């Protein structure tokens, strides 16, 4: 490494001797990586990309792999079984193979997350110095081909190593590179290229193309749309072989090689060109222009050369070196700054000379570019008569090749072809800021300054005729395609010179739109760049210019037209290209040189390339590297794991989770290297989310859902790269979160059945209660009706009983009146007996109509009144006769009361008439009690007893026969006891007790 700077200087010196090879470097959108970013070592020997998108790096401290977010290193011990790794290769199955050589040489394959050692290579006494590794053949039957610097080629097939040397047909044992096209192997040696098929060497290619015999230092097989082509690099030439056609792409190259770095590494650029170099220098051949550009540290690389180059799937160029890693994310813009040779970083104006050179204006001078190198030309230091403030605001080259520079406060500068400069200022009539210059024809110039628009000719300027109506300060002067002059202003819009003089065009909508920077005649319209955006002159006014996909409402400083018709708009944040169909925006993130574009800093060079100057450099647009939509693939998206309930689960099979494991985390990866920090993603959880999420930064690559309800879910994800390319959605396996016990179908069925039963029971209960309430209501209503009817009946019965009682009294009175006419004592006695019986019945009816219930009377009150009436009727006889009553107050229905009353009437009457003759004193006892369901009625006296000869059982008198008959009517029987008086006992069933309240009038 000590002689690296010397060899680079020598190489550059030798290269500079060859006309036509540009030696200037240019900067691109580059990012660098070292150990500080995660590499195992900054000394990188080789690199490769596997189908999953990850980039692998062979370093002197192991193997590192990068996925755009994190780095992983495999190194001994515990990782790759060797410390230093020199070569990498990817087989047809996507597995990575690596060759390590410290502490000893070995080959290993990375499968299923682990390294598998292959058969050891035995080469006693020889140092294996690999220069290329190729893997061919079908999966699990791969053939490994290893090219070495001094020992020829080694083939590993079916676990056995085979060696191919010069004696086996190899052009030389000094191999400089390896490439493969299917099972065909190309070995580049210092004596040509050998084709190896099925272990057999073929040297025929060298005979067909003798230049190969001078030595091939590098070889590359490139897949193309039409097949494949082979790139071959010698020390002084670069060629490609396609379809049997051999084509030299570059000659007279000087490439430094030595025993330390004897070969050249190559990589396609994706547009038909190729990158090539070694650790001393790196170049890029642009095939269309046949130009070779130098890439070095001034281009933004971390080192001057390369140990390996990789064009990844997204057209990023990875450059490995001995000092770290560089990634070129885009070649659409080649940028030039002071470090590449410009006088200053800021480019304020541009013009193209007739010989093809480009002149760049800066704040204090000019830079000339001849296609190979930059020549800065600062303006001379201020001298007497030269004003200060020399910012070049505009450049114009006249027919003689003289450059005219509108240099603000410096005035107008004339730069002759011989390089001499003359300044014109106040003495030439140009006062203050000179802002623009253009051709007025006939050797005259249009110049704008603080004195307004002037005509410059010879050494002096005069006011332009008819321009008195224009503002004193104008920004830009120009000519339309039809020859009309236009001038832009900072507050008054744009002025266009026509047949009738100057016409002012203003915006009726925005004062900012009247602050105009530039204008371009696009054939059908005059487009105007303003502080408010892109406008057009329409009907004498400034109107916002819009088309599908194009609407600029930010400052537009520069408008530039490509030969093909596409338009460029330089803004305060990059540039916009519009080809009439598609709009593309370029900022620093897309490799554009700066943020703010200067209004006169744009041109198209002799090769048709667009140049645009900014505040931090100038950009040259390479259309062939501005890949169309779809050429740059979207990110590779994958779901690595699913975390459920705190446990990581595989993401390659359906998951059934318990109800408690309803907190999910999805770990995903979106691999893109366009700009790793600009990855965005959107996601959707089918079964939960109603729509896709808004785009958001990838961040840590985790998406969380908490407290998900039971259900069926599928997680979907897509990612976007920095260019706006979205990947197709990917989906996780199906995820089922089981319902709790209470959510299973059979549980619902059971609960449903229970609810049905409960509902039925409730229905029955409600129905029963409703029925009971209805019945109660009906009973109440019926009871009320019955009570009403009963009361009416009682009233009616009382009335009947009262009428019957009155009628019986009438009958009794009639008998009494009739008895007065009866003289016969026996007949009179009969009348009186009848009257007593009628009185007894009348008394019952009287008690019934007085009682609260017409259906029953109180026995005690009835018998007491009946006995007293009888005693009163027989007052003469009963003067010495006492009455004792022992009557239970039981209710008696009329069916019982009538017979009982008649029985008592007969028995008491008999006692009063016969038991106490001749005024004999005594006592009559009447008793009524209830015993075991029957009534016992007793009538007794202590009189003389029954007369002798009276047979009570046989019948006796009429009265006794009546009493016996009445007892039978009650369902009872009469018993007579005679001794010291007479006792009559009648037993009869009590019958059912009466309902209702107690009888009124009870004692």
Query: In the prediction, which pLDDT does 970 show?
Result: 86
Contact 58, 85 (CB under 8 A): yes
* Exposure string for 179-192, b = 16+ CB within 10 A, e = fewer: bbbeeebbbbbbbb
Per the document, the length of the chain is 1003
Question: Taken in order 292, 294, 299, 304, is the CA torsion positive or negative?
Answer: positive
Q: Band of the pLDDT at 949, cuts 50, 70, 90?
A: low
- For 670-706, the pLDDT digits (tens) are 999 999 989 999 999 999 999 999 999 988 889 999 9
- For 102-159, the pLDDT digits (tens) are 777 889 999 888 999 998 887 665 678 899 999 998 888 899 999 999 999 999 998 8
Please tell me the least confidently modeled range out of 121-125, 357-361, 708-712, 871-875. Answer: 121-125
Please tell me the least confidently modeled range out of 28-42, 539-553, 983-997. Answer: 983-997
Query: In the prediction, which pLDDT does 997 show?
Result: 35
- Long-range CB contacts (< 8 A, 24+ apart) of 849-852? 849/797, 849/798, 849/799, 849/800, 849/801, 849/802, 849/805, 850/798, 850/1001, 851/798, 851/999, 851/1000, 851/1001, 852/794, 852/997, 852/999, 852/1000
pLDDT of 846 > 70? The answer is yes
Query: In the prediction, which pLDDT does 781 show?
Result: 80
Once rounded to an integer, what is the mean pLDDT over residues 268-287?
A: 93
Question: Taken in order 638, 642, 648, 649, is the CA torsion positive or negative?
Answer: negative
- For 730-778, the pLDDT digits (tens) are 999 999 998 877 666 666 787 788 888 888 888 888 888 888 788 788 8
Contact 246, 220 (CB under 8 A): no
Contact 605, 611 (CB under 8 A): yes
Query: In the prediction, which pLDDT does 994 show?
Result: 36
d(CA 629, CA 622): 16
Q: Band of the pLDDT at 855, cuts 50, 70, 90?
A: low
d(CA 429, CA 432): 10
Query: In the prediction, which pLDDT does 124 show?
Result: 61
How many other C-beta atoms can be found within 10 angstroms of the C-beta atom of residue 553? 14
pLDDT of 836 > 80? The answer is no
d(CA 544, CA 549): 14
Could you tell me the pTM of the whole model? 0.72
Higher local confidence (pLDDT), 8 or 301:
301
Q: Band of the pLDDT at 875, cuts 50, 70, 90?
A: low
- For 464-503, the pLDDT digits (tens) are 999 988 998 899 999 988 889 999 999 999 999 998 899 9
Query: In the prediction, which pLDDT does 856 show?
Result: 74
pLDDT of 829 > 60? The answer is yes
Cα 958 to chain centroid, rounded: 119
Query: In the prediction, which pLDDT does 617 show?
Result: 96
> Of 145-149, 470-474, 837-841, 869-873, which one has max mean pLDDT?
145-149
- For 367-424, the pLDDT digits (tens) are 999 988 899 999 987 554 444 589 999 999 999 999 999 999 999 999 988 778 999 9
First to last CA, the chain: 145
Question: Which residue in 321, 316, 318 sits closest to 675, CA to CA?
Answer: 316
């Amino acid at each position: 490494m000590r002689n690296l700077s010397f060899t680079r200087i020598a190489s550059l010196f030798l290269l500079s001797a060859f006309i036509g090879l540009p030696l200037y470097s240019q900067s691109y959108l580059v990012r660098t990586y070292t150990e500080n970013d995660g590499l195992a070592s900054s000394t990188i020997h080789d690199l490769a990309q596997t189908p999953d998108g990850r980039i692998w790096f062979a370093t002197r401290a192991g193997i590192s792999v990068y996925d755009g977010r994190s780095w992983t290193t495999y190194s001994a011990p515990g990782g790759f079984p060797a410390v230093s790794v020199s070569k990498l290769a990817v087989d047809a199955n996507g597995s990575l193979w690596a060759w390590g050589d410290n502490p000893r040489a070995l080959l290993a394959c990375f499968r299923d997350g682990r390294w598998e050692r292959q058969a050891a290579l035995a080469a006693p006494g020889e140092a294996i110095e690999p220069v290329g590794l190729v893997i061919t053949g079908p999966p699990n039957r791969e053939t490994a081909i290893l090219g070495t610097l001094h020992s020829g080629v080694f083939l590993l097939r079916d676990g056995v190593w085979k060696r191919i040397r010069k004696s086996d047909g190899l052009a030389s044992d000094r191999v400089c590179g390896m490439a493969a096209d299917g099972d065909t192997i190309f070995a580049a040696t210092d004596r040509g290229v050998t084709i190896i098929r099925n272990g057999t060497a073929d040297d025929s290619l060298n005979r067909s193309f003798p230049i190969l015999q001078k030595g091939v230092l590098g070889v590359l097989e490139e897949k193309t749309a039409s097949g494949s082509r082979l790139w071959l690099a010698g020390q002084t030439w670069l060629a490609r072989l396609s379809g049997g056609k051999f084509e030299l792409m570059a000659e007279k190259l000087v490439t430094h090689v030595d025993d330390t770095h004897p070969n050249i590494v190559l990589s396609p650029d994706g547009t038909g060109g190729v990158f090539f170099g070694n650790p001393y220098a790196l170049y890029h051949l642009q095939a269309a222009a046949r130009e070779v550009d130098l890439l070095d540290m001034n281009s933004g690389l971390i080192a001057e050369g390369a140990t390996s180059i990789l064009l990844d799937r997204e057209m990023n160029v990875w450059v490995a070196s001995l000092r770290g890693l560089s990634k070129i994310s885009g070649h659409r813009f080649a940028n030039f700054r002071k470090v590449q040779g410009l006088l200053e970083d800021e480019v304020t104006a541009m013009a193209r000379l007739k010989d093809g050179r480009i002149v760049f204006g800066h704040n204090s001078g000019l830079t000339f570019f001849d296609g190979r190198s930059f020549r800065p030309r600062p303006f001379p230091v201020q001298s007497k008569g030269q004003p200060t403030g020399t910012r070049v605001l505009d450049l114009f080259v006249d027919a003689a090749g003289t450059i005219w520079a509108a240099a603000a406060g410096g005035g107008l500068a004339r730069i002759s072809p011989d390089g001499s400069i003359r300044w014109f200022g106040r003495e030439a009539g140009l006062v203050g800021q000179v802002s623009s210059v253009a051709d007025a024809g006939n050797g005259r110039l249009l110049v704008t300054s603080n004195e307004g628009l002037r005509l410059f000719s010879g050494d002096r300027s005069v006011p332009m005729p008819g321009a008195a109506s224009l503002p004193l300060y104008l920004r830009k002067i120009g000519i339309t395609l039809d020859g009309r002059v236009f001038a832009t202003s900072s507050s008054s819009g744009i002025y266009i010179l026509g047949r009738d003089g100057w016409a002012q065009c203003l915006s009726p909508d925005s004062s900012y739109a009247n602050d105009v920077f530039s204008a371009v005649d696009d054939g059908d319209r005059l487009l105007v760049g303003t502080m408010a955006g892109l406008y057009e002159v329409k009907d004498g006014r400034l109107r916002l210019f819009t088309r599908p996909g194009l609407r600029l409402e930010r400052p537009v400083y520069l408008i530039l037209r490509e030969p093909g018709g596409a338009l460029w708009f330089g803004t305060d944040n990059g540039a916009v290209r519009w080809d009439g169909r598609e709009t593309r925006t370029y900022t620093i993130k897309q490799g554009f040189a700066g943020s703010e574009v200067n209004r006169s800093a744009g041109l198209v060079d002799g090769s048709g390339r667009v140049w645009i100057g900014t505040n931090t450099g100038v950009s040259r647009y390479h259309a062939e590297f501005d890949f169309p939509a779809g050429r740059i693939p979207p990110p590779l998206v994958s779901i690595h794991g699913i975390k459920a309930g705190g446990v990581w689960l595989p993401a390659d099979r359906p998951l059934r989770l318990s109800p408690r494991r309803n907190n999910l985390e999805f770990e995903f990866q979106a691999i893109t290297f366009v700009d790793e920090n600009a990855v965005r993603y959107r996601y959707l959880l089918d079964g939960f989310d109603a729509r896709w999420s808004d785009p958001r930064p990838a961040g840590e690559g985790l998406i969380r859902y908490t407290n998900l309800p039971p259900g069926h879910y599928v997680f979907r994800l897509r990612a976007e790269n920095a260019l706006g390319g979205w990947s197709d959605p990917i989906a996780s396996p199906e995820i089922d979160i089981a319902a709790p016990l209470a959510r299973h179908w059979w549980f619902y069925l059971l609960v449903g059945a229970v609810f049905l039963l409960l509902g039925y029971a409730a229905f029955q209960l409600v129905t029963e209660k409703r029925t009971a309430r209805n019945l109660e209501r009906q009973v109440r209503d019926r009871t009320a009706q019955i009570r009403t009817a009963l009361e009416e009946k009682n009233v009616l019965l009382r009335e009947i009983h009262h009428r019957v009682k009155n009628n019986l009294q009438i009958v009794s009175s009639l008998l009494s009146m009739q008895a007065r006419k009866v003289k016969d004592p026996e007949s009179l006695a009969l009348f009186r007996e009848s009257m007593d019986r009628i009185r007894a019945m009348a008394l019952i009816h009287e008690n019934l109509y007085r009682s609260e219930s017409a259906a029953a009377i109180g026995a005690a009150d009835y018998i007491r009144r009946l006995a007293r009436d009888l005693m009163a009727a027989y007052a003469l006889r009963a003067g010495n006769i006492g009455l004792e009553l022992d009557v239970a107050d039981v209710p008696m229905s009329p069916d019982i009361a009538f017979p009982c009353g008649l029985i008592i009437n007969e028995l008491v009457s008999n006692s009063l008439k016969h038991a106490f003759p001749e005024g004999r004193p005594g006592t009559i006892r009447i008793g009524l009690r209830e015993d075991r369901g029957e009534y016992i009625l007793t009538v007794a006296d202590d009189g003389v007893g029954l007369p002798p000869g009276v047979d009570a059982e046989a019948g006796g008198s009429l009265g006794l026969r009546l009493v016996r008959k009445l007892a039978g009517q009650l369902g009872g029987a009469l018993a007579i006891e005679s001794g010291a008086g007479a006792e009559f006992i009648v037993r009869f069933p009590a019958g059912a007790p009466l309902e209702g309240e107690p009888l009124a009038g009870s004692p």
